[in-house]
Amino acid sequence: MIRIIENPTRRSWPLLAMRNELDNESLSQTVATIIERVIKDGDEALFQLSKEIDNLESFVLQVSKDDIDASAEKISPQLKLAIDTAAGNIRRFHEAQLSTDVDIETSPGVRCLQKSIPIQRVGLYIPGGTAPLFSTVLMLAIPAQVVGCPEIVLCTPPSSSGAVASEILYAASRCGLSRVFAVGGAQAIAAMAYGTTTIPRVDKIFGPGNRYVTRAKQMVAMRQTAIDMPAGPSEVMIMADDSAEAAFVAADLLSQAEHGADSQAIVLTGSMDLALRIKDCLNEQMEHLPRRAFAAKSLSHSRIIILPEAKDMLDFANIYAPEHLIISMRNAWDVAAGLTSAGSVFIGNFSPESAGDYASGTNHTLPTTGWARAYSGVNTDSFVRKITYQELSPQGLNSLSETIITMAEAEGLDAHANAVKIRISTLKS
Amino acid sequence: MIRIIENPTRRSWPLLAMRNELDNESLSQTVATIIERVIKDGDEALFQLSKEIDNLESFVLQVSKDDIDASAEKISPQLKLAIDTAAGNIRRFHEAQLSTDVDIETSPGVRCLQKSIPIQRVGLYIPGGTAPLFSTVLMLAIPAQVVGCPEIVLCTPPSSSGAVASEILYAASRCGLSRVFAVGGAQAIAAMAYGTTTIPRVDKIFGPGNRYVTRAKQMVAMRQTAIDMPAGPSEVMIMADDSAEAAFVAADLLSQAEHGADSQAIVLTGSMDLALRIKDCLNEQMEHLPRRAFAAKSLSHSRIIILPEAKDMLDFANIYAPEHLIISMRNAWDVAAGLTSAGSVFIGNFSPESAGDYASGTNHTLPTTGWARAYSGVNTDSFVRKITYQELSPQGLNSLSETIITMAEAEGLDAHANAVKIRISTLKS
């Protein structure tokens, strides 16, 4: 069950902010072998690996257009409506993120521009598991579509029958995707990084996955294919004062716990009374949960940390840099204003993480394991390059020539200086 | 000398677009050992490694405030003015890049925000070499300062006397930096990633370097510290039609060639006549260059590729994805509009790469080796995280509740559904 830790010293904070470290030499070797096989044997390696690893006897690598089109008939009207509603909100929020081009004269005759150009070929990975995670299709495909990436492919492991879930196909078609491949694991990442006969090579790979997928993403990122971010187990932090509802906090903790045994939930509060009430609510709510054994295990490495000073709560949150941060406090926006590191922030008692996980419009692909200190969650910027352009008029170059020549010569780069001198000489003649 | 390749078939393009691959197992092991030593022995390892690798007998790790302040007296007024002029342009262009916050209602009662929050602790690496590359200080420190990163540290290898060049110190102080450390190589990267007694741990490391530095950046990026981008040898592509000046093109090729034997320059043109004139100009200009032996070596793996079709020139440029692209063509802006992959683009006959390297305002820290397919050059976004926030009113959550509950249950995540149900139930009672 969840532990309560009362007023820990600052010296103990780093320990309390730690996550499970995943660093496994044999994992790297296994994944490296998979990648090499895909580079060498292409599609054939994908079939063999799916057989060896997932016991898939036969399947069609590329999902047919007919199967994609038929998906809309195979899911309930209620779920279709839900996906459409969520997609609308996600689209609206991501469209609002599109950045405007920059076009200025930095000095007379020196024009500098910055434009967002969509990445040409992107690959989306949607993990398998006990249920089809179609919501992640929306979170990755909608921003790609909003910025206008011309080639979007999706890989996802098929079920044991070899089929991709209709929910995933419907969400994909809802986002205009037509190229869906029934392959998962490290081999799917390798296929998108290096290309096979069937699966095109992409420039950047997005999406969560198990540790094989994550390691494969890290490995291809060293070579030639960019990735969205390093991914780890999901996590939530809840900051709560006496305006928080213990039952809501408990429900949020459980919705984190059900993600998996390695996910982590942390409550920061000044109130031992609230901590005890949360614990009571957890016990009560867990009884009705189908996956209670699972949740109990995950809660065993979660914690409620009592920090009487509001300043300490904020400092600890910033050190931890949580993927999700729920602020159930009277002055939630003030607290949020002091926040420097988090993936996504949920304000007040009626903004549960599950709202952002599915339907409010924010992206749920977020930095975990403290990476929020340096990484953003997926957003429209994740799918573009910002290319700069410059045009100097002869006069513009002339007026900067002394500056450039002086700096180039001071750095010992004479040819850099010459490239300016030779141009300026034509103006004077 | 540079080779001319006439109208190559598309099948040969991938080969022509290749760069030198750097993948060296013993390099990884050397760098891993250096990182482990810094983690274990901190400052002491930095002193020992600087002695072993760079023959530095004694030096002070942190440059004193007095030394930084004194730097302004040690460089010429002319160079000071040049640095100040360049800094002004760089600052203006990067200030124009600052993105505006997003704050919208995606549906009634559902408010979603996205704000840029500066990365709290950033580390800048400035390589050593034959001359102090103070221009890179401006390119990294100015955007960090423009977005408001509160902690900015700089590491750079000292000269054999143990001192950091005055040019670097002046550029650093010009950008408000006060923490400069006299250490270079993989050990400097390890120090910024893990922290030592003297050098603080940072969240993200920026800056170019040799292959030890680059490999160290890639290695710490697997663990806990983000990096700006993978870095490789510098490169330029020049697209030229008959409006191009052969002498200018030759000067630009040489300014690339002088960077180092591994840097690459490629000319795309439809005109064999221009190609031959460029070659003549190269021979002529090289005679006067102090580092001509060096440049000749670099030019030996550079090429002029004759592509008679304008469409082929554009397609090849996009496949190559050059770090720098100079378009010396009559319709340069039209060509640029069709461009999908490049780091920074230089338009017309009076926009040499050296303008952007130093003073026009664009950043010169750019993706090499084809990474422009997925990465932007350094810009203000490189120094922020875009954090999302959401606040749902009770009514906002109520109207989205069916959507969230339906999706959560379809993904088998009952506790996610419960977190909504338990809140909605309080509204109905």
Average confidence (pLDDT) over B348-353: 98
B62 touches chain A (CB under 8 A): no
- The sign one gets for the Cα dihedral B184, B190, B195, B200 is positive
Nearest chain A alpha carbon to B401: A355
CB contact under 8 A, B385 and A254: no
Which residues, in sequence order, are CB contacts of B306 under 8 Å at separation 6+?
A: B4, B5, B6, B7, B269, B270, B271, B272, B275
Strand A102-107 relative to strand A110-118: parallel, antiparallel, unpaired? antiparallel
pLDDT of residue B429: 60
List of residues 6+ apart from B161 with CB closer than 8 A = none
Say how far apart CA A164 and CA B408 lie, in whole Å: 19
Give residue limits of the domains in chain A. 24-228, 232-376, 393-428
Candidate from A89, A102, A114 with C-beta closest to B110: A89
* The pLDDT of residue A158 is above 70: yes
> What's the confidence (pLDDT) of residue A273?
96
Q: Quote the pLDDT of residue A144.
A: 98
A371, A406, A428: best to mutate for the B interface, most B CBs within 10 A: A406
Place of tokens 């996600």: A90
Torsion, CA A193, CA A199, CA A203, CA A206, rounded to 10: -80
Average pLDDT, chain B: 93
Neighbours of B424 (CB within 10 A): 16
Q: Does the pLDDT at position B247 exceed 70?
A: yes
Nearest to B428 by CA among B390, B392, B401, B391: B401
Other residues' Cβ atoms within 10 Å of the Cβ of residue B386: 22
Integer Cα distance of A121 and A205 in angstroms: 9
Nearest C-alpha in A relative to B318: A120
- Which two three-digit tokens encode residue B361? 């305002």
Question: Quick one: B232-376 is in which CATH superfamily?
Answer: Nitrogenase molybdenum iron protein domain (3.40.50.1980)
Q: For residue B148, which residues of chain A lie inside 8 Å, CB to CB?
A: none
Per-residue model confidence as pLDDT tens digits over B255-301: 988 887 788 899 999 999 999 999 999 999 988 887 777 778 888 87
Condensed to tens digits (0 to 9), the pLDDT of residues B367-407 reads: 999 999 999 999 999 999 999 999 999 999 999 999 999 99
Residue A25 pLDDT = 73
Strands B110-118, B384-392: pairing is antiparallel
pLDDT at site A21: 58
The CA–CA distances, whole Å, from B395 to A67, A90, B111, B234, B408 equal: 38, 19, 12, 56, 20
B232-376 against B393-428: fold identical: no
H helix runs in A42-76, sequence order? 43-54, 65-74
Distance from CA of residue A71 to its chain's centroid? 26
Residue A42 pLDDT grade (very low, low, confident, very high; cuts 50, 70, 90): very high
Q: How many angstroms separate the CA of residue B124 from the nearest CA in chain A?
A: 14
Segment A208-218, tens digit of pLDDT: 998 899 999 99
Between CA A41 and CA A45 the distance in angstroms is 5
Q: How many residues does chain A have?
A: 429
Q: Which pLDDT does position A429 carry in this prediction?
A: 60
d(Cα A189, Cα A201) in Å, to the nearest integer?
A: 10
CATH class of the domain at A24-228 = alpha beta
A133 to chain B: which residues are within 8 Å by CB? 411
Residue in A390, A402, A425 to test binding to B, most B beta-carbons within 10 Å:
A390
CA distance A48 to chain B (A): 28
**How far is it, in rounded angstroms, from Cα B309 to Cα A53?**
48
Residue B362 has pLDDT above 90, yes or no: yes
Predicted confidence (pLDDT) per residue in A60-85, tens digit? 999 999 999 999 999 999 999 999 99
Q: Does B322 touch chain A (CB under 8 A)?
A: no
Average pLDDT of span A136-164: 96
Does position B170 have pLDDT exceeding 80, yes or no? yes
Residue of B nearest to A111 (CA): B360
Q: Which residues contact A429 (CB under 8 A, 6 or more apart)?
A: none
Cβ contact, residue pair A258, B415, below 8 Å: yes
> Regarding predicted confidence, which is higher, A308 or B260?
A308
Q: Per-residue pLDDT tens for B44-66?
A: 999 999 999 888 887 899 999 99
Residue B48, Cβ neighbours under 10 Å: how many?
A: 14
The answer to which of A14-23, A311-320, B348-357 has the lowest mean pLDDT is A14-23
* Chain B CB within 8 Å of residue A294 CB: no
Say how many residues make up chain B: 429
How much is the pLDDT for B226? 97
pLDDT greater than 60 at residue A185: yes
B378 touching chain A per CB within 8 A: no
Edge-to-edge order in the sheet of strand B204-206 = B179-181, B151-155, B121-125, B204-206, B226-227
Instruction: Please state the φ and ψ torsions of residue A183, each to the nearest 5 degrees.
Output: -150, 140
DSSP code at position A381: G
Return d(Cα A297, Cα A285) in angstroms, integer: 15
Contact yes or no for B106/B158 (Cβ under 8 A):
no
Task: Give the whole-angstrom CA distance, residue A295 versus residue A297.
Answer: 5
Whether residue B165 contacts residue B132, with contact meaning beta carbons closer than 8 Å, is answered with: yes
pLDDT value for A23: 58
Q: What is the pLDDT of residue B21?
A: 58
Does the pLDDT value for residue B18 go beyond 90? no
Looking at residue B22, what is its pLDDT? 55
CB-CB neighbours of A381 under 10 Å: 20
**Dist CA A384 CA A365 (whole Å):** 17
Count of pairs with CB atoms under 8 A, one residue in A, one in B: 422
Q: Is B271 exposed, middle or buried (0-12, 13-18, 19+ CB in 10 A)?
A: middle
Judged by CB atoms closer than 8 Å, whether chains meet at B403 and A86 is answered as yes
For residue A254, what are its two tokens? Answer: 């459980």
pLDDT at residue A117 tops 70: yes
Q: Is B324 a catalytic residue?
A: yes
Active-site entry in B94, B323, B353, B364: B323
Q: How many Å apart are CA B259 and CA B133, to the nearest integer? A: 12
C-alpha A401/C-alpha A413 separation (Å) is 14
- In this prediction, residue A15 has a pLDDT band, given cuts at 50, 70 and 90, of confident
Strands B235-240, B264-269: parallel, antiparallel or unpaired by DSSP? parallel
Give yes or no for A344 touching B (CB within 8 A).
yes
Among candidates B223, B344, B386 on the partner chain, residue whose Cβ is nearest the Cβ of A376: B386
Do A363 and B251 lie within an 8 Å CB cutoff?
no
The CATH number fitting domain A393-428, selected from 3.90.1150.10, 3.40.47.10, 1.20.5.1300, 2.40.50.100: 1.20.5.1300
**Integer distance in angstroms from the first to the last C-alpha of chain A?**
84
Range B309-330 average pLDDT: 96
Note whether B120 contacts A361, CB cutoff 8 Å.
no
Q: Confirm whether A323 is a catalytic residue.
A: yes
User: What pTM was estimated for this model as a whole?
Assistant: 0.95
Q: Residue A239, SS3?
A: strand
Q: Which ipTM value was assigned to this complex?
A: 0.95
CA-CA distances (angstroms) from residue B114 to A342, B44, B101, B384? Answer: 12, 43, 6, 12
Q: Does A346 touch chain B (CB under 8 A)?
A: yes
The residue in chain B having the minimum alpha-carbon distance to the alpha carbon of residue A359 is: B404
Nearest-CA distance from A290 to chain B in Å?
A: 8
